[in-house]
Structures are given as C-alpha cells and as structure tokens.
Chain A
Amino acid sequence: MTQTLTILGLESSCDDTAAAVVRQTTGEAAEILSSVVVGQVDLHASFGGVVPEIAARAHAEKIDLCVEQALQKAALTLADIDAIAVTSGPGLIGGVLSGVMCAKGLSAGSGKPLIGVNHLAGHALTPRLTDGAAFPYLMLLVSGGHCQFLIAKGVDDFTRLGGTIDDAPGEAFDKTAKLLGLPQPGGPAVEAEARNGDAKRFPLPRPLLDRPGCDMSFSGLKTALLRTRDKLVAEHGGLRQQDRADLCASFQTAVSDVLAEKTRRALALYQELNPAQPTLAVAGGVAANQQLRAVLETVCAENNVTFTAPPLALCTDNAAMIAWAGLEQFRAGHRDDLTLSARPRWPLDQTSPAMLGSGKKGAKA
C-alpha cells in the first residue's frame, strides 16, 4: 500500500536542540522538508565539556522555538503532520525530558500520535534516509558520547558487536584539544593541527588491539597524551607548536588505527551474514574526520564493502534522523502514549551483554 507520511522530529539529548520535518512516500526516497539545529557550544566552552545542568536549562527554553521554526520552514502546521517523534533516550536526562514533555504537549493538543525514538536508532537508520541502505548493514557510530559497532537488521533490530568501554573518541578529541590549548570543539581543531604534524614521533598506545573482539578503550590514550605533554612542558617550559602538531598527529593516528582494526573485525563478523549489498555506514561527529574516513574507506575497499557516510549535518546530532527513525517505526506500527518515559540509559541492542565499564545498572547505550 502506498502511503505518504510526514513526521515531526525533536532531539535534545546532548548539547544540540533540534527539530525537523521528514516526508516519505512508500517506495520513494525520503525528503527532509526542514531541519533546525541550535547548538550550545558557547554556553559550555569555558567548562571544557558539556555541563548537563547548563544543557538542560537551554533545551527547556529552545525546543518549542525549534519546532516552530521547523514547521515554518517546511511551510506546514501541526495539522499536516502524521506523527510526532522525539528522542526519549539515551542521553543527558534533563535535555531528554524537555524534548519528551514538549512532544507530549504537541501530541496532546494536536491529537497526533507520539513515538519515542532511541537516539542511537536515529543515527543507525540515517543511512536509509540518505542512501536508502538495505538491511543488514554494518554501522560504526562514532561521536562525542558514543562509539559502537552495530549490525542494523531491521528498524527495531540491532546487534551490537562491540563498543568503547570508557570514553568515546569525540570526547578524547575534545580532551586532547583542552590539554593542548586548542579550542573546542576539539575534533576539527586537533585535525587541523595534525595536518602539520609527524604521526610517528610519539608512540601512543593502541588500547585493546591485543584483545579479541570489537570493544575499544580511549581513556588510556588520553592519559598517555597527558604524560607526553607534561614531559615536553617540563623539558621546554611550555609546549612548542611543532610538538603540539606532532602530538595531534600521533593521537589522531592512534585513534584511526584502533578504529580501522576493530572495523576489520566487525566486518568479518558482519560478512558471516552474507549481506546482499555489503555496506559499512558511519555516523557521529567523529565521522567528519578525514583521516578516519580515509582509513575506513581503505578497509572497506580491501573487503569489497561499500562505504557510506551521510553528509556532516546528518552525522552529528539532528532531528531529521529522529523524524526518519520515527517514520520507519510508525510504518512498523510503533506508537507511544502520554506516559512515555525519558530514559538516561537505553541500549539499542537489548540482548547482547552489557559492556565492561557499564556500571551496575547495565548498558548505557
């Protein structure tokens, strides 16, 4: 049956407040009618990281404005919308709550159905929004808050092959920038600096490469970088620009090496499924890193797997991916009611065991 669906999406799980409208007719390519993202980089800059309470305060006063703008840009009203999709976890709970409560208000007042979407499903289903990727595909989600390999088998069916047991790579990039006196967000700053650096100069560790499986760790790498920096500062009375560039290059190459090797292992597991169109998709802000992209493309070429990366605006946090995931799940019959909960922890894969470092309450994501 052909059906055109128009879905409003809301996202507020970290430090971006976003709303978007996505439309799709069965069997056709999806269309992003609008996508509004309001960031908070300035609010958190002086703290060297996202402060949950500051983020929550901003979301509560911005989310409805983003919705208004998204509807306006799409030249639609709520009456034209088929359902309202909202990130209901995992993430910083204060922000998630603001999004969920605003969405409930929109749903109650308009009578439109409500769909709670897993933030990670938003990222993981984006390759279908942008490229119409066919299940099953392998997903590497690599951002400031997350790092995991998922096999996407269906709109609600994901298998986690492994992930970070401590920091996410994006967080490691931010901390590296902070330790080296570079501006936030750290990813682009470290990458720019690394272009003038010698990646072989400092032997930084490649954590967990000596262990089987797809789990990763980036916390020790950050500590090794700090030790090396301290040694250089003690030696020279400060950090010389060339040393900084070499540190950035060495760090970025260590991250790329780890992700490349773990991707090889994840691809081997994925290819056991004999996918018709073998595909690796990346998402998350770190997927914007050119060196990382280049090594992942090489790994894919070696394995005859198609590499796909959504445009940057759809790699980082946005609400179009939430509207899209909501659209796919709405088609699959998924609905929530006004008792929908906001969840700080919500692993996409509910069956794989929680990873090391997840704490007593089990897997976070």
Chain B
Amino acid sequence: MAKGQAERLFPLLEEVLAKAGKTWGDLTAIGVGTGPGNFTGIRISVSAARGLALSLGIPAVGVSSFEALAINHPRPILSLIDARREQVFAQELTANGAHDPFMATKDTLPDMPTIGPFDTVDPVAIARITATRFDDPGLPRPAPLYVRAPDAAPPRDPAPVILP
C-alpha cells in the first residue's frame, strides 16, 4: 500500500496475532524487514519494531529484503530488489556473509545466479530468518537499509570572503 501504512500496521499486527491465537506477551522476538525499499515504509516498520522490542523486553531483529528473498536459494547468489527508475538494488550473498549492497541497472549486473528483482518480501521469510538469529547477544538494533544516499546537495552560493 502506498498510503496509510502508519495507520494500518498495528491493527494488522494485532489481527495476525489473533489469527495465530497469540498475544504480544507470547512473542520471543520481533523480526522486521529493513529494506531496501520505500524509505518511509522501512522507517515505519523499523521504528515500530524498536518500540515493541523496548516495551516487550525482547530482541528486534533486522532482516534485509536481500536475505528474505534468497532464503530458500543456494549461495552465492545475487539478490535483486526493484529500485524503480529502471534500477535495482543488488547484494551478493555468500556462503557465510554478504558483500556491500549497491545500485545498478539490470544490464550491468555481474554474471552470476540471481533472484529477483521483486518489490515485495514474504514476511514469513523474515520471521524464519529472525528465528535463527534472535539469541545472538551481539545483535545490532534493526536499522533501515537505504542503499540510496539521501537526496541533498550542499548550498550553491558560497559564503562571502570576510575582510578585516
């Protein structure tokens, strides 16, 4: 959904819990998709997950869309997310880690097995990956994975020369 995610997210989470016959207190950990994707969307879910983790006293685990997409695929693999404007976000997932994600056009990708590009991720994959990692004591708090730098330019007009 393009609009209304902030309003819809918590009612949706409560519906999902109810369907599973669970309450907030039954949760062991919270997995959250960190993108890349819509900047506002990933901030909405990451902020919510961090707030929930704090109030429930359980870990929040950030899972990138790259990992979630490739959950059932052999590695190494190049995981691709639709970045609009004819571009993709790409990350090479290796047997025991990953290289830095980057942006590319579809015709300039390295020659290797790929998955995607997709623009949605299965939340079940996020939950499954979370289950494998939540008890790592060194786990960082989830943070949005933007890949794209913020659209900001330094001012054009320089400050005047100051004379004594």
Q: A residues touching B (Cβ–Cβ < 8 Å)?
A: 46-48, 51, 53-54, 56-57, 59-61, 63-64, 67-68, 78, 93-94, 97-110, 178-181, 229, 233, 236-241, 244, 338-342
Contact = CB atoms under 8 A, between A and B. Distances in A.
B134 interface: no
Most buried by A among B8, B39, B56, B150: B150
B161 A47 contact: no
A237 B155 contact: no
Contacts of B10: 104, 108, 338-339
B156 to A, nearest CB: 10
B94 interface: no
Nearest to B43: A60
A351 B141 CA distance: 43
Interface string B36-63: 0001100111111111111110000000
Contacts, number: 143
B28 to A, nearest CB: 13
A97 B46 CA distance: 11
Given A64-B50, A338-B11, A57 B150 contact: yes
Contacts of B144: 57, 60-61
B46 A60 contact: yes
A9 to B, nearest CB: 14
A104 B154 contact: no
Contacts of B46: 60
B138 interface: no
B163 A101 contact: no
A109 B52 contact: yes
B163 A108 contact: no
A63 B150 CA distance: 20
Contact of A102 (B13, B50, B164): B50
A258 to B, nearest CB: 25
Contact of B160 (A67, A93, A229): A229
